[in-house]
Amino acid sequence: MRQLLKRNSVYKRLNINQLISISCLLCRADTPMNKPVCNLCIQALPIADKHCLLCGIPVLANSSDLCARCVQKKPAFDICHSAFNYEFPVDHLLKKIKYHQQLIYLPPLAEQLSRTLLHHYDGKVWPQAILPVPLHNKRLRSRGFDQALVLARQLVKNLHPYQQMKLETHLIKRQKHTDPQQGLQASQRKRNIKNAFSLTGTPDYQYLAILDDVVTTGETVSEITRLLKQQGVKRVDIWCLARTPV
């Protein structure tokens, strides 16, 4: 096919991706081969625009900068940046990635997270490294891949032209096999995640970014933040593709 196209003079003026199209994974409209989701669908995704300035949960457009929970008690981490609200179709896409290994959906979502981060850290100090939330070996074996690590690699690649980010994958270990946090009551989540992680050494960082695909109550990322801060890390930002309202 490519050979044929190369011989065609039209090819010389057009990018091959414009000639070979595939169906958008969401609406089935034609989209260039390098874009699994069409531009219209990307623009319609629920971007996290109005959110609590600390924990990142979606808040109403006319409400204050902090959610009611953060006004009462600040989270363990310093700030949470989310690309999207956990709403349709983002929730649907994230489940396809996580439970059906359809990693093709990840790059368009990671692209928006990269944009969100570039916007926020413009002129500011970036974290020294990205620390993806680790999976327990048992879950890694059953799922076959670590979605936070795949996302982290994609982000490092996306951010590379602007900011070179180190990937930290050895500092934190998940020592307890826990039930998935989604579907548990708030008190159960806390108990479920307690002592789930351990440090493999003393952190050589002042400032880190913890990365996960979805942040729900924030118990998981708060637990890791507490561990890091107990060992001298001064600031911990949370990065995620989507933040749930609770």
Residues at the interface with Zn ion (CB under 5 A): 24, 26-27, 29, 38, 41, 52, 54-55, 67, 70
Q: Would you say 155 or 236 has its CB closer to Zn ion?
A: 236
- Contact present, 13 and 208 (Cβ < 8 Å): no
Evaluate whether 194 touches 79 at the Cβ level (below 8 Å).
no
| Residue 24 or 149 having the CB closest to Zn ion | 24
Query: Which of 127, 137, 151, 114 minimizes the C-alpha distance to 203?
Result: 127
Cβ 146 to Zn ion shortest distance, Å: 28
Cβ atoms of 45 and 90 within 8 Å: the answer is yes
* Cα-based distances in Å from 18 to 33, 47, 109: 8, 27, 21
For the CB of residue 148, give the shortest distance to Zn ion in the complex, in Å.
22
Q: What are phi and psi of 227, to 5 degrees?
A: -60, -45
Nearer to Zn ion, 147 or 217 (CB): 217
In angstroms, what is the minimal distance from the CB of 207 to Zn ion?
21
Closer to Zn ion at the Cβ: 26 or 159?
A: 26
Q: Which is nearer to Zn ion, 67 or 129 (CB)?
A: 67
Taking the complex as a whole, the smallest distance from the CB of residue 76 to Zn ion amounts, in Å, to 12
Alpha helices (H) in 83-146, listed in sequence order:
90-100, 106-121, 137-143
Nearest approach in angstroms of CB 132 to Zn ion is 23
Cα–Cα distance measured from residue 228 to residue 246, given in angstroms and rounded to the nearest whole number: 24
Minimum gap (Å) between residue 108 Cβ and Zn ion = 10
78 vs 146 by CB, closer to Zn ion: 78
218: which 2 tokens?
A: 């924030």
Look at strands 172-174 and 197-199 and give their pairing.
antiparallel
